[in-house]
């Protein structure tokens, strides 16, 4: 099955070690995600695309316990089979906060300040039979265990 990103320009991949793609203002060095043509901080009209670091720190989080409105949500919207997922803001490289899905939704395993790493997760299979993936952040301890096995 072919794997494709949920949207172009969000992250590198989907193969290999993914990295989020951000804009950096050429005037003030402000970083923005997702990609933007102009700067939200200084109003500058020139940005460059940069790859963000793969690790970040959990700044805050919550659990999405009911299906979001579709569209724009493209995952399972059936309340009977919907599986809650974690959502958080992750501080990356001290440059910006990125809102993202988390790979875990159990409050007992989520702590503000914990180190997270970018991963790709399956979201759904589209009408062409392609696996659509999105980005998420997983606790570093979990991703390190996966890479060692």
pLDDT tens, 6-21?
A: 999 999 987 789 999 9
Q: Which of 69, 103, 111 is nearest to 86 (CA)?
A: 103
SS3 47: strand
The answer to whether residue 21 sits within a structural domain is no
Predicted local distance difference test score (pLDDT) of residue 104: 95
* N-to-C CA span, the chain: 24
Domain that holds residue 133: 54-148
The answer to whether residue 1 sits within a structural domain is no
Predicted local distance difference test score (pLDDT) of residue 143: 53
Over residues 47-56, mean pLDDT: 97
Query: Taking all residues of the chain, what is their mean pLDDT, rounded to a whole number?
Result: 91
Predicted local distance difference test score (pLDDT) of residue 146: 47
Report the percentage of the chain scoring pLDDT > 70.
95
Predicted local distance difference test score (pLDDT) of residue 30: 97
104 with 44: CB under 8 angstroms? Answer: no
The answer to whether residue 2 sits within a structural domain is no
**Structure tokens, 10:** 């969000």
The answer to whether residue 17 sits within a structural domain is no
Q: List, in order, residues 6 or more apart from 114 with CB less than 8 Å away.
A: 57, 58, 139, 140
The answer to whether residue 66 sits within a structural domain is yes
Q: How many domains does the chain have?
A: 1
120 with 15: CB under 8 angstroms? Answer: no
The answer to whether residue 40 sits within a structural domain is no
The answer to whether residue 117 sits within a structural domain is yes
Q: What is the pTM of this model?
A: 0.88
The answer to whether residue 16 sits within a structural domain is no
User: pLDDT tens, 53-108?
Assistant: 999 999 999 999 999 888 778 778 899 999 999 999 999 999 999 999 999 999 99
64 with 87: CB under 8 angstroms? Answer: yes
């Amino acid at each position: 099955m072919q794997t494709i990103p949920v949207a172009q320009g969000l992250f590198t991949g989907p193969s290999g070690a993914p990295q989020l793609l951000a804009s950096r203002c050429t005037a003030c060095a402000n970083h923005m995600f997702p990609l933007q043509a102009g700067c939200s901080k200084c109003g500058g009209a020139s940005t460059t695309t940069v790859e963000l670091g793969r690790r970040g720190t959990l700044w805050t989080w919550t659990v999405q316990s009911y299906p979001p409105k579709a569209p724009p949500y493209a995952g399972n919207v059936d309340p009977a089979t919907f599986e809650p997922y974690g959502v958080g803001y992750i501080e990356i490289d001290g440059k910006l906060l990125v809102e993202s899905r988390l790979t875990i939704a159990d409050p007992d395993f989520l702590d503000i300040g914990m180190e997270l790493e970018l991963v790709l997760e399956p979201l759904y299979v589209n009408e062409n039979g392609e696996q659509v993936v999105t980005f998420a952040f997983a606790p570093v301890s979990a991703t390190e265990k996966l890479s060692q096995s």
